[in-house]
Amino acid sequence: MPSSSWNACVWLGLADEAEGALSRAQALASGFNDAGLTQWFETRRRRLPGFRR
């Protein structure tokens, strides 16, 4: 699904910027799979003093 940045670029006639925006949105979305979310959670958990092992 295209991002709002992509839609705005297309609407303004900025084809190159639209492709870049779509590429960045897809890269960001692909980072939020199960492994990515687990890594994010573990990183945040380690920063909290009460949850350190």
Q: What is the pLDDT of residues 1-53, one digit of tens each?
A: 555 666 676 778 777 777 787 788 777 777 777 777 778 778 877 877 665 55
**Global confidence as pTM:** 0.42
Distance CA 49, CA 4 (A): 38
Query: What pLDDT, on a 0 to 100 scale, did the predictor assign at position 52?
Result: 55
Query: What pLDDT, on a 0 to 100 scale, did the predictor assign at position 4?
Result: 65
Q: Is 13 left (phi over 0), alpha (psi -120 to 50) or beta?
A: left
Query: What pLDDT, on a 0 to 100 scale, did the predictor assign at position 45?
Result: 77
